[in-house]
């Protein structure tokens, strides 16, 4: 097997294709959803973390569902995908969300703490890191939809 053949196998892997489609669609949806909520266009939402819907959830759920559809939902492969997806979604709504909350508090402390009348730092920590549970759930639903659409219409 040549290296080119190995690369072609990777780029034709349906699980990887669907996972990246799920991620891309979730990231693209963040722009109009941000506009609907904030009444401002922010193209940077495409490559930002956090927000509605969770692209991490969309990616891992679409991958897990596609594995289940191809290999079977009673297989070890699907079970591993489902466990991995659950861990990622828990992390997004739990640990990463707490990190964002802590960044908000630290940024406020930095703004309030003046050194000779100037803030002690001009660099703010990123506050939009994790997700609200509804954002994680929306990403999971999107992942299921992307996988189902791929399987119904695009799979060979």
Tell me what pLDDT residue 18 has: 97
Candidates 49, 51, 59; CA nearest to 30 is 51
Torsion, Cα 61 67 69 73, to 10 degrees, reads -90
Q: Which residues of the chain fall below pLDDT 70?
A: 1, 96-98, 100, 107, 113-130, 155-156
pTM summary value: 0.77
Name the 3-class secondary structure at 34.
helix
Rounded Cα gap, residues 155 and 35, in angstroms: 33
């Amino acid at each position: 097997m040549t290296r080119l053949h190995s690369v072609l196998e990777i780029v034709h892997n349906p699980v990887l294709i669907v996972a990246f489609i799920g991620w891309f669609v979730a990231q693209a949806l963040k722009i109009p959803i941000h506009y609907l909520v904030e009444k401002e266009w922010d193209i940077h939402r495409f490559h930002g973390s956090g927000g509605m819907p969770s692209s991490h959830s969309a990616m891992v759920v679409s991958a897990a569902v596609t594995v289940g559809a191809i290999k079977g939902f009673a297989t070890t492969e699907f079970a591993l995908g489902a466990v991995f997806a659950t861990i990622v979604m828990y992390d997004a709504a739990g640990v990463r969300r707490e990190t964002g909350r802590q960044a908000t508090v630290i940024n406020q402390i930095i703004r309030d703490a003046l050194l000779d009348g100037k803030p002690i730092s001009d660099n703010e920590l990123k506050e939009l890191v994790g997700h609200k549970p509804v954002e994680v759930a929306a990403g999971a639903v999107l992942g299921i939809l992307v996988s189902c659409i791929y399987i119904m219409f695009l799979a060979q």
